Structure 1
Amino acid sequence: MVYENIRNLREDNDKTQTELADYLHVKQTTYSKYELGKINIPIEVFVKLADYYDVSVDYLLGRTSKKTP
């Protein structure tokens, strides 16, 4: 669920993995691994993504379907 949420938000906002990786100051391959669930996503990244998309961290984590923070 978490990985689907961050991928869906990226795609819904017409962003590339490279754009998000640059925003997060990580390599594109690292961001790709976040979306694939191959590595754990640090809490700081969740917070930055929530701010970027103006959604709650709970939404990113799949704890709620309500996007607003």
Structure 2
Amino acid sequence: MSILGSRLKKLREKHNLTQERAGEIFGLTKYQIHRYESGISNPDPDIINKFADYYGVSADYLLGRTDSPNPPEKDDIPEELNTLAKINQLIKEYGIEQMGFFDIEKWKSLSEEEIEEIIKHFEWVVHKAKEKNKAAREGTED
């Protein structure tokens, strides 16, 4: 078994996923997951990045280039990227990928009303963030 395969299996099991469920999440078959975990074949870089993002580890960790699952914190990471990482974590926690969040075909089946509801929700979230940021700026100008 390869380092990559061993780590993929360990992470999948840590997240209580079957090979079949992992395949569904990553758009692969159970057989492909098995082949990656057993070291019979290697995923392409895009799939490795999907694994890393989903499991919250670095691609370097998956590939055996480091034994640290997470890269050290960097002070120069823009706040926007930290926010995106938090959103990505929420997507995983709430199982949005199970609803086809990234599946364009499933988005096409939404009604106009459902799309409007999503747009309104996003607009509300952005509005609340702007209010919070404005209040924070005003609080520092005192």
Same fold (TM over 0.5): yes
Q: Relative contact order: is structure 1 or structure 2 higher (C-alpha 8 Å, sep ≥ 6)?
A: 1
The 3-state SS of whatever aligns with 1:68 is coil
Q: Quick one: which amino acid aligns to residue 9 of structure 2?
A: R
Q: Which has the higher helix share?
A: 2
Q: Structure 2 matches for 1:22-41, cutoff 5 A?
A: 22-41=24-43
For the aligned residue pairs, the C-alpha RMSD in angstroms reads 1.0
Q: Which runs of 4+ in 1 moved over 6 A?
A: none
**How far has the Cα of 1:27 moved from its partner?**
1.0
CA distance in 1, matches of 2:43, 2:69: 19
Name the CA distance, whole Å, in 2 between partners of 1:61 and 1:39.
Answer: 13
* Structure 2 runs not aligned, ≥5 long: 72-142
TM-score, structure 1 length as denominator?
0.91
Residue by residue over 1:14-65, the C-alpha shift from the partner in whole angstroms, topping out at 9 and shown as x without a partner, is 1111111011111111111111111121111100000001100000011111
Number of matched pairs: 69
Matching residue within 41, 44, 47 for 1:42:
44
Pairwise mapping of residues 1-69 of structure 1 onto structure 2 (< 5 A)? Answer: 1-69=3-71
Distance 2:6 2:70 in 1: 18
Counterpart-to-counterpart distance in 1, 2:13 and 2:60? 19
Tell me how far apart the structure 1 counterparts of residues 69 and 33 of structure 2 sit (CA, whole Å): 21
- How many percent of aligned residue pairs carry the same amino acid? 35
Query: Given the two structures, how large is their TM-score scaled by the length of structure 2?
Result: 0.46
